[in-house]
Amino acid sequence: MKEFDEATAWYKLLKMHRFQNFHERGDHPKEHPKTVTGVIERKSMKKVVLLTLVLSVIAGNTLFAATPRDTLIMASKLDDVITLDPAEVFEFTGAELTVNMYDRLIGYDVEDVSKIHGVVAESWDISEDGRTYSFKIVDSMKFASGNKLTADDVVFSLQRVIQLNKSPAFLLTQFGFTPANMNERIVKNGDYSVKLIIDKPYAPTFFLYCLTSTPGSIVDKQEVLKHEENSDMGYGWLKTHSAGSGPFALTSWKPSEILIMAANEHFHGKKTAMKRIIIRHISESATQRLLLEKGDIDIARNIQPDDLKGLAGNPTIRIRKKSQGCDLLSGSEPEKPVPEDSSGQTGPEIPHRLRGNGIHPLKR
């Protein structure tokens, strides 16, 4: 019997030129609700014809049937996903995926990011000098493995970020945490209590918001260390696996092809209606639009303006608009003066002039 590779099987299936009409779902939105946050999604299930894979392979023969109503298929760009270890993820798509696999001490309201709240942390206190943050951990949470989430996992997760020192580690190390002092500054203070001591007082919201970032994700210490090699703290394994307490857990990933997540049966929050999420790497906007219109996918994440206009009048398509974070990069070469024009003027009275080779201060 061949070893079953779910991602490969799905990829081969979804790569077919046209889906075979094994089953038509019909339009039963009340009987079979299916909603998920996204950019563009099917408004009803009318004309949706999809396939699913019966998760068994006997003597190399794959069996196919209709996609279950609790399975969602999304088209997105996956080519920037190079790792799924939350201590290393620093790309937008990877962060979007891992936030569904892990919880953090602190969370924020996606509709109003000025509002923060506890997730793994039930509550917290700040010392008078502004340097010590004491977190009380929720005592009823479990990881996807079934292991209980405790203070040991929180300490391990944050110290692991400091020790590995990957790209996003600065979000924590900027507060004075180092491999040399982390055992004294990131400490367990009981089975469900953790104390973090930063180097100096900062605006509390600044520190707390940094804990909402991807490197603030809490990993399953017991599960991760089962896969440790050469004292790598599970780094090699966690790049392509998950060990979190979030609503979903990674089941398969083929880089730049397909990624599959399954619902975490131990998730502490509201149970998701979707038992499986399948994300296909579709880079072209036009292809995403075509698949969406045919009903071959449920959500399209990378529709460009021209295709968006074409979808606007489709009664079976719902368009959702949401704000999204972005990176703005600028280069500055202040030692190079901005040339004056023939009139001796340096340009309009604005602080800087954007030029092809950087942002230059204007002469006054």
Hey, where are the domains in the chain? 6-77+247-319, 103-225, 331-364
For β-strands 71-76 and 299-300, DSSP reports them as parallel
d(CA 265, CA 279): 20
Give the CA distances from residue 178 to residues 89, 104, 183, in Å, rounded to whole numbers and listed in that order.
20, 20, 9
Q: 333 is written with which tokens?
A: 């070469």
CATH code assigned to 6-77+247-319: 3.40.190.10
d(CA 262, CA 248): 5
DSSP 8-state symbol, 18: S
Q: Candidates 1.20.1090.10, 3.90.76.10, 3.40.50.1980, 3.20.20.140; correct CATH number of 103-225?
A: 3.90.76.10
d(CA 360, CA 363): 9
Query: What is the average pLDDT score of the chain?
Result: 80
SS3 breakdown of the chain: % helix, strand, coil, rounded to 5? 20, 25, 55
pTM reported for the whole predicted model? 0.75
Say whether pLDDT at 346 is over 80: no
pLDDT of residue 271: 87
d(CA 161, CA 167): 10
> Which are the contacts of 249, defined by CB distance < 8 A and separation ≥ 6?
101, 144, 242, 261, 262, 263, 264
pLDDT of residue 6: 57
pLDDT band at 53 (very low <50, low <70, confident <90, very high): very low
d(CA 53, CA 7): 10
